[in-house]
Amino acid sequence: MAHDPSNHAPFPTGSAVQRTERALAAIEAAGDEGRRIFTRVYARAALQAARAADERAASGITLGPLDGRIVSIKDLLDVAGEPTTAGSAALRNAPPAAQDAVVVQRLRAAGCVLIGKTNMTEFAFSGIGLNPHFGTPGNAHDAARIPGGSSSGAGVSVARGMAEIAIGTDTGGSVRIPAAFAGIAGFKPTQARVSRDGALALSYTLDTIGPLAASVHDCARADAVLSGQPWQPLPVRDVAGLRIGVPRGWLLREADTAVLDAFEAALRRLSGAGARLTDLALDEWMKAPALLQQNGSIAAAEAAHVHREVLARAPQQLDPRVLARIVPGQSVPAPHYIGVLRERTRLQVAFDAQLEATGVDLLALPTVPIAPPCIAELERDDAAFMRANALVLRNPSVFNFYDLPALSLPFGQAAGLPFGLMLVAPRGRDHELLALAAAIKALGTDA
């Protein structure tokens, strides 16, 4: 039998109680910053869950691959008995959730220690991570810079030792962007893999739920729990002979020089390990989602429906930049919206065939083409915010449109900050993507 590489993946030391106490201490020591990272901390319940996990471990009992692991959850996931605020002041007094979201139920059943709810962009409608209501978490590597969004607190919570795994959502990159900026792994599954019941929607069509973690193996463990599937250790894969397609063109334009340098260094490293790299001319496909939605986006139209009550009751309570993105959705004509959905279905089938024809196992590109900008600059300058938001969302959002599994892998640095390498696999090959990502990460601990 091949050895299980997950046995050699980094695993936290200490009992569940000890690790939970360290995580809670890290949140407390962060002071105001801790309150910008978390909107709610479950200190007492977390310690109770940790004690129960330790008791199970002492008896040789396990509830699964995440038993006793410390997990944070994004503020748009329902927790029974409390309002789901989704980063919005307008929902502070919303009716309490009647039951946990399905993924929260699964995490509890798997023995996870839920440590708290993490901050986010209001309604998950930006890749930047600013939040004027609950504050903006600083980047884990430079607190003056943005954390990435919309799962802003999720990435920071893991990178700063406040959680071991975070659960986020990804509509246009909202797991992969903060993971890239935090220097951790972030996995967006094929949409149908994980139930979204009990997650406040941004876009019914595009939303996915996925994990952020320090290792690919922890993302795989979390994926098994979130998807309700039996845990299967990642199969051993070899980078040698791996066929990787590089979509040269539009998705590399307007990129920072340091990001491009880091990307080319990553490709050289992969080639040196025996991967077979092929430059692909895919701009027709990569540009299609933006071109199709230039007169009205799926996310805006669906968000306008999701938040219609707040828009009618108290639009002034919303972040003006979020409001500015939702309001146009109110006037998207039904024929346009239906036409976009139908054309998306056609393009998905066509792009699936195109990918198969290329013969590649993965696509590789920068998760985000720019380094994280400074928070202060984007807070004061709407034009700078809009440009940065468009750029950070550009690369990852393409693969929400095509509903392909994608993972941001920390792979070196760009100008002293983490560089995220995005790996994309054909639809439904989620477990294989995780296995290949683990093999690529294993090229070296300095990657």
The model's pTM is: 0.96
| Burial call 248-267: b when 16+ CB within 10 Å, e when fewer | eebbbeebbebbebbbebbb
pLDDT, tens digit, 9 for 90 and up, residues 255-286: 999 999 999 999 999 999 999 999 999 999 99
Residue 335 domain-assigned (yes or no): no
| Catalytic entry in 74, 117, 188, 441 | 74
Pairwise CA distance, residues 196 & 5, whole Å: 30
CA dist., res. 77 & res. 82, Å (int)? 11
- 406-414 and 185-188 strand pairing: antiparallel
The residue among 103, 6, 123, 117 whose CA lies nearest residue 72 is: 117
Residue among 72, 88, 126, 150 flagged as catalytic: 150
In the chain, DSSP finds a helix count (H) and a strand count (E) of: 16, 11
Q: Does the pLDDT of residue 402 top 80, yes or no?
A: yes
Residue 168: name the closest of 197, 133, 207, 135 by CA.
207
236 is in which domain, residue-wise?
Answer: 15-297+342-447
117 is catalytic: no
| Tally of domains in the chain | 1
CA distance linking residue 222 with residue 234, whole number of Å? 12
Please tell me what DSSP assigns to residue 97.
Answer: B
b/e code 396-426 from CB counts within 10 Å (16+ = b): bbbbbbbbbbbbbbbbbbbeebbbbbbbbbb
Query: Does residue 317 belong to any structural domain of this protein?
Result: no
Task: Kindly tell me if the per-residue pLDDT of 330 is higher than 70.
Answer: yes
Please indicate, yes or no, if residue 307 is contained in any of the structural domains. no
Residue 310 falls inside a structural domain: no
Q: Letter for the amino acid at 200?
A: L
Write out pLDDT tens, residues 60-111: 999 999 999 999 999 999 999 999 999 999 999 999 999 999 999 999 999 9
In a domain, 331, yes or no: no
Report angle CA 255, 259, 263 to the nearest 5 degrees: 110
Tell me whether residue 427 is in a domain. yes
Q: pLDDT of 2-40, one tens digit each?
A: 333 333 445 678 999 999 999 999 999 999 999 999 999
Specify if 190 maps to a domain: yes
Rounded to a whole number of angstroms, the CA Rg of the chain reads: 20
Judge whether 120 lies within some domain. Answer: yes
Give the domain CATH number at 112: 3.90.1300.10
Has 174 been annotated as catalytic? Answer: yes
- d(Cα 421, Cα 185) in Å, to the nearest integer? 9
Q: How far is CA 221 from CA 4, 110, 218, in A?
A: 13, 11, 5
The 10s digit of each residue's pLDDT in 190-200 is 999 999 999 99
Q: What is the pLDDT of residues 129-162, one digit of tens each?
A: 999 999 999 999 999 999 999 999 999 999 999 9
State the catalytic residue, choosing from 174, 203, 215, 297. Answer: 174
pLDDT over 70 (residue 173): yes
Q: Using the CB atoms, write b or e for 52-82: b if 16+ within 10 Å.
A: bbbebeeeeeebbbbbbbbbbbbbbbbbeee
Distances (CA, A) of 327 to 113, 204, 292, 331: 38, 17, 19, 8
Residue 150 annotated among the catalytic residues of the structure: yes
Rounded mean pLDDT of 363-369? 98
